Amino acid sequence: MELINKFEKEKLLHLLEYSSEELDDFVKKSLEISKETSNIYDTVLKILQKGYNIREAVLIGILLGEKIGYENAKKEMEQEIKDKLYRAFKNNQL
C-alpha cells in the first residue's frame, strides 16, 4: 500500500467504501492470512471465506502478488551476487 499515491488511495477507498483506518485494518488482516500459506490463490480463497467481497479479494491478491514478486526477485539477486562472489574468489585462487 505504500506504493500508491494519495489520489489512487482515495479512489480505492471510494471503490471499497472504506475509511482509511478500515483499509489499513483490512490489509493487516489479509497479510496475517497470507502468512498461513505462500499460495496467492489459497489466500484469496481464505479471504472470501472470511466474508470479504470479491473486490477486497482482488485487491489483496494484487498486493500479495507484488510482495511475493519482490521477495522472489530479492532472493534471485542475492543468489546471483553470491554466485558471482564465489566465482571471483575461485578465479583469484587459480
Q: pLDDT tens for the chain, 94 residues: list them.
A: 666 778 888 888 888 888 989 888 888 887 787 777 767 778 778 878 888 887 777 777 777 777 777 777 778 888 888 888 888 888 877 6
- What is the reported pTM? 0.55
**pLDDT at residue number 14:** 87
**pLDDT at residue number 3:** 63
* Cα–Cα nearest to 64, from 43, 92, 93, 87: 43
Distances (CA, A) of 2 to 6, 66, 70: 10, 12, 14
Render the burial of 16-32: b for 16+ CB within 10 Å, e for the rest: beeeeeebeebeeebee
Enumerate the H helices of the chain as residue ranges: 6-16, 20-34, 40-49, 54-93
